[in-house]
Structure 1
Amino acid sequence: MSTAEGVALELDDIQSGALHERPSPYVGTYLMLRIDDRADGRELVRRLLTIVDTGAQAAEPALGAWVTVAFTYHGLRALGVPQESLDSFSPEFREGMAARAEHLGDTGESAPEHWEKPLGTDQVHVAIAVLAPDAEHLRAVVDRARSAQEELPGIAVVWRQDCYQLPTGRTSFGFKDGIGQPSVDGSGRPPSNPHEAPLRAGEIILGYPDETGELPPMPAPDILGRNGTYVVFRKLHTKVAAYRRYLRERAANRNEEALLGAKMVGRWQGGAPLGLSPDRDDPELGSDPHRNNAFLYGDDPRGFKCPVGAHARRANPRDALDGDGSVDVRLHRMIRRGTSYGPMLPDGILDDDGVDRGIVFVFAGAHIKRQFEFVKTQWLNDGIFIGAPREADPLVGGGSGEPNSFTIPQRPIRRRLTDVPPFVVTRGGEYCFAPSLSAMRWLAELP
């Protein structure tokens, strides 16, 4: 139990993935499994219990790698969870991401009919994420998980994605990642932004009060829902060459090219936020975890330092919306775990080499609809809240393939970038539920 901030989190019962950062550097693997035999499915859960880490031990994983296990709606049904319990999960989870694709903006090239199979279908039942500091530890744990599966003929691996931290420590677009995570009350992790209080535990973990002061809706029975969290998994292909080419064509020199990229993202490639360093990159600031997230947007209401439509500001407006009182930003925060897949596109290359590269995004929270779906549809895909209804997020907004526009406030005349092509394509996704260890035991012993 942890009571450091006044709330008692049952850390020994909570899977570590929702509360603790991934290692850096890291290598990892995501596995999707299908359950063809109910008894084998329950035996798989029983075996996975021996390798899943808890929030209390995440700093030192028992097997040298961090393992998180989650289930789709179809997976819980395949295990034999009673229909009454299945019906108690959130509507979004029961429907699944593919069924909500149009609402999310996953249309055109990002539509489910173009996703990697079997993502988005009823053939995905179990999601396993394994992250380790090096390949040796990863291989040991993945081999153990695979051997457990191979001994059970009623379990099939239907999809796999390997990932790793790129040599630069940045995303495929070239930007330092993993900055700006909220801390969770009771987790033992201090906030990285001293201007923001930790989120109430119920925003991330079910069974505790959230920012409204109430308990969020929780699946029944209590042993199934308590200490669990919803997990949103998305594989996103990045069009790095198109992104570089777009900036190159609209910049007079390399310095302006870097500035345009920073304006679109909200940070310089080295991680320094525009809110603290609006005119130049500051790698020392960007690499300092005590400073690179310690800022707000309230002193920059018009976006002269960081455009209001920049990706980082859209995804987390911080105090920028406090003035009108229409939105409580804290109700839409979530834990984000991003990992890279595929090799880097070599520096200076402006033509697509045909290699698949991108980001696997994993979001954790207690409310799929008002966290992930709200941010995706209202803040990233739409520009109404920033006063630009025809603008979407310049990196990940929309998804239909239609050109976008992006406004950069500056004096004396603002600059407006037009015909911004889509730089990110959804390759698949799932809504999952990461149960507590107690819930996993309950699933393994279903009658």
Structure 2
Amino acid sequence: MVGRIGATGLLVFALAACSGGGQAAAPSAPAAPPASDQSPAAAESAITTPPLARPKAGSDVRGVLSRLTTEEKVGQLFMPVLYGTAADTVSGENQTRYGAQTPAKVIAKYKLGGVILFPANVKSTAQVVKLTNDLQAASPKVPLIIGTDQENGLVSRMSALMTDLPSADRIGASGDLGYSRAVARATGTELKALGVNMDFAPVADVNINPKNPVIGKRAFGDDPRKVARMVGAAVKGFGDSGIASSAKHFPGHGDTATDSHTGLPVIKHTRAQWERLDAPPFQAAIDAGVDAVMSAHIVMPKLDSSSDPATLSKKILTGLLRDELGFKGVISTDALNMDGVRKKYDDGEVAVRAVLAGADLLLMPYDLKKAHTAVVAAVKSGRISKERLDASVTRLLTLRQKRGFLTEAPRVSAERAATVLRSAKHRRLAQGPAR
């Protein structure tokens, strides 16, 4: 990811979860509290305190869906970045971009389904715990999906607080599938302790182009079969921790020398090449039960001749990912503020076309108001059918149900988080696989 500085001095990020070319600099933040070396079992357990009050009636997915208005359903599709280190932080950036001053008010205004966190949202363990608890409190009808990009290595949004675990290329070089699973489990456990319930990881791209400016060390390697095994193990590790994972960037961002933040990469793989080089890690992720798959802002003309990026391609997202690979979970876009997806259409049309292509989660639209308004209008006009909207919301609710927060968002505790973040067990894990 590449960061920019907004007018108020807060970081405005060019990418949410995925094709980040470099780690945005985190603000100066105090180190996490020294971790206790005691009670490792407790440290690995769920970090919860009494949940927020939620409606009891209709506690299944269908019941929750039935209580939502059209505007609330549309809001469930969006996951922007909000500005501030507290839910009540008054920010000119929020006001300018979203028409509401605080993160809590933005959530209430758009009935958001999710929020993504970046280093500018992070100061300390206690602060992040309070932030995620208070963000959940601002969404009384449906708990938020709170995501981040914690790949470890180059893209590590919570690095100020979390264990410095190895990057994917180091894990891949070890050849140890158990190590891949253990690192993902530790990453998810620390995120869950902070109140983050979704990680946009692992990277499922195969690093087959040495000139690739955005993948590189973020991938497990350059051998599709070995990468597939590592990705499958990582997905299982995230599942062990209890948080959702997202394999990225479909249909494969590994063979390009163009940065999709600033341009639109074209990958000329034939269908046979795609099946051999790009598909195996995504199939492995699906087979391992991955919760979400993130699209890439790339053109693969042999898979779709329209010249639209995969994020806006029904042939790729619905035809290939859903119908052929059999993926039933959430399809997330890569960040919609990246130039790669904004070349042909305005921000409202990009959001509508992403939904029509098969996307369920619309990540970081450049203009949230325009995107939200356009999707609502498309549903009301029938361009996006109500059945299509309900299908996406159902998948997003099912993800919550699978991960245990469909109707009740667990409140996390700073005291208990301190026993997990940078624990002795995780510090040992960071040193490499046990021999």
Highest Rg: 1 or 2?
A: 1
Task: Judge same fold: TM > 0.5, yes or no.
Answer: no
More helix by share: 2
